[in-house]
Amino acid sequence: MQPLRAFMNKLFLSAGIGLVTSVITFFLSVAFLCLVLLVIRAVGHSQPDMSLAYKAAAPVAVLALLLGFIISMVRIPGGAR
């Protein structure tokens, strides 16, 4: 029963790390892309679609979720022994 409990602790901790990584990456990506779109607007005197920042940041956040989960599952000690 003890190895199962250790694995479940590791699983939930990794899921939490993946979720936090995803949220942080999403907001940083949106902020960076909004800044890029504002610079494009200033240079080109055009009105870019600001919703592109959210559309581009969503796949980046999903990738960060997967990578954060997988890397923490591999790196966190205390799995089944």
User: pTM score, two decimals?
Assistant: 0.78
The pLDDT tens digits of the residues spanning 32-43 come to 998 988 898 888
pLDDT of residue 70: 93
Angle, CA 66 vertex, CA 28 and CA 15 arms, to 5°? 95
Domain ranges (residues) in the chain: 10-75
pLDDT of residue 80: 46
pLDDT of residue 42: 86
